[in-house]
Amino acid sequence: MITIKEVTSKKALKEFVLFSFDLFKNNPYWIPPIIADELESFDKDKNPAFKTASVKFFLAYKNGKIAGKVAAIINWDEVNLLKKKKTRFGWFDVVDDLEVTKALLDKVAEFGKENGMDHIEGPMGFSNLDKVGVLTEGFDQLGTMISWYSPPYYKEHFEKLGMVKEKEYFESYFSMEAVNPEPFQRASKMIKERYGLKVLNFKTSAAVMPYVDQMFDLFNESYASLQSFVAINEETKEYFKKKYISFINPEYIKFIIDKNDKMIGFTVVMPSFERALQKAKGKLFPFGFIHLLQAKKNSKEVVFYLIGVSPEYQNKGITAVIFDEYYKVFKEKGIKRFIRTPELEENHAMHNLWKNFDPTVHKWRRTYRKDI
């Protein structure tokens, strides 16, 4: 017998988080989150996402044991601004039991109907800055700290339940050793001179902070043309600023400004924390933070996190300027691999930024939709 219970206590919320640790305990490709960080993300008093979203967390029980989990989310900015009557579902994990998946998604649909929504879509988080998609290819590839892992049966469950593809994403990487720096070094010099551009480089997180609001404004501008994009609001900017900027090596953050000191491009890259997170096993103490600090200092792989280029500069070779700066840092640090996280298939402006680096696509993921 399958029973679905809403999570209404801190104890149950911790069980919600820990279920994934049990499910993927022996999986070498799953990247565990930091438990305290995950719980903070679900705290209505700390995460500003809850101010513009209605959220319920559900656990599925079978024979008295937890067999699955899901978060049902209505992002009211998305509903009101994009006129999409959508119920998101995220943080979905489940044992290989179709009936458990059905029971969880039925609960998401019920929540949506109660609020006047007409379809469900997921997996996806509260906003565009959260994790997205279920894997459809690349199950034998190491995950990243900013994407969800999922076994093949998730996709199979969704399709057996009549869900259809809504959005497609892919992930890729390229080897730093295979990159010939001369073409983009020449192009960078020419482009900076032609448009009067300057690159801001940083040595401390404190020096980055005065520019972060501009960065998020440009992020909103860069992605505004995508159908599914919901702009990042002021409170979310502050939340991510405090949560992530100090966590990133300042030399891995690059801002490009024009002759009027207006930001026209930015990129945020992180060291690869994936293997460190596997060693930490969800805990910062007593030794987890040491693994993370070592990865921050010594990782030979980097993960592409955010990029934004002003629409008026998207076809003017700004990638050459960005990568010229990164190449200097990566060469000094001995970086060997550059990993790109999920990119929407329809986001051609993004793909064009990297076309000259001959990336290898190693994962595909998608969100699924069903009318209710």
Per-residue pLDDT of the chain (372 residues; tens, 9 = 90+): 999 999 999 999 999 999 999 999 999 999 999 999 999 999 999 999 999 999 999 999 999 999 999 999 999 999 998 899 999 999 999 999 999 999 999 999 999 999 999 999 999 999 888 999 999 999 999 999 999 999 999 999 999 999 999 999 999 999 988 888 888 899 999 999 999 999 999 999 999 999 999 999 999 998 877 767 888 888 888 888 888 887 899 999 999 999 999 999 999 999 999 999 999 999 999 999 999 999 999 999 999 888 889 999 988 888 889 889 999 999 999 999 999 989 888 876 666 667 777 889 999 999 999 999
Same domain, 162 and 184: no
Instruction: Provide the number of structural domains found in the chain.
Output: 2
Beta-carbon contacts of 199 under 8 Å, excluding residues fewer than 6 positions away, are 192, 254, 255, 256, 321, 325
- Residue 3 forms part of a structural domain: no
- Residue 217 forms part of a structural domain: yes
- Residue 39 forms part of a structural domain: yes
Same domain, 268 and 296: yes
Same domain, 143 and 181: no
Same domain, 88 and 77: yes
Are 6 and 260 within 8 A, CB to CB?
A: no
pLDDT value for 319: 83
For the domain that residue 188 is a member of, what is the CATH number? 3.40.630.30
End of a domain among 172, 205, 222? 172
Give the closest residue to 176 by CA, choosing from 301, 322, 352, 270: 301
pLDDT value for 165: 97
Same domain, 160 and 61: yes
- Residue 368 forms part of a structural domain: no
- Residue 148 forms part of a structural domain: yes
End of a domain among 172, 204, 221? 172
Are 128 and 229 within 8 A, CB to CB?
A: yes
- CA 262, 344, 234, 36 torsion: positive or negative? negative
| Rounded Cα gap, residues 347 and 116, in angstroms | 30
| Partners of 73 in the β-ladder | 55, 88
Give the closest residue to 36 by CA, choosing from 220, 292, 218, 327: 292
Residue 202's CB is within 10 A of a number of other CB atoms, namely 17
- Residue 36 forms part of a structural domain: yes
| DSSP class per residue in 235-285 | HHHHHHHHHHGGGS-GGGEEEEE-TTS-EEEEEEEEE--HHHHHHHTT--T
| Rounded Cα gap, residues 202 and 236, in angstroms | 23
pLDDT value for 240: 85
Q: Taking the CA atoms of the chain, what radius of gyration do you get in angstroms?
A: 21
Residues of the domain holding 349: 174-361
Exposed e or buried b per residue across 330-350, where buried means at least 16 C-beta atoms within 10 angstroms of its C-beta:
beebebebbbbbbbbeebeeb
- Residue 2 forms part of a structural domain: no
Same domain, 72 and 198: no
Beta-carbon contacts of 234 under 8 Å, excluding residues fewer than 6 positions away, are none
pLDDT value for 232: 85
Are 53 and 126 within 8 A, CB to CB?
A: yes
| Rounded Cα gap, residues 357 and 176, in angstroms | 9
- Residue 372 forms part of a structural domain: no
Same domain, 26 and 125: yes
Same domain, 44 and 112: yes
Distance of CA 69 to the CA centre of its chain: 20
Same domain, 95 and 115: yes
Same domain, 165 and 253: no
- pTM for the whole structure: 0.93
End of a domain among 143, 172, 201? 172
Same domain, 71 and 132: yes
- In the chain, % helix, strand, coil (3-state, to 5) comes to 40, 30, 30
Same domain, 191 and 332: yes
Are 218 and 211 within 8 A, CB to CB?
A: no
Establish whether the linkage from the previous residue to 28 is cis, with ω within 30° of 0.
no
Beta-carbon contacts of 96 under 8 Å, excluding residues fewer than 6 positions away, are 151, 153
| Rounded Cα gap, residues 112 and 293, in angstroms | 42
pLDDT value for 362: 96
Residue 221: DSSP 8-state: H
Q: How far is CA 135 from CA 146, 149, 318, 346, in A?
A: 13, 7, 31, 18
| Partners of 198 in the β-ladder | 257
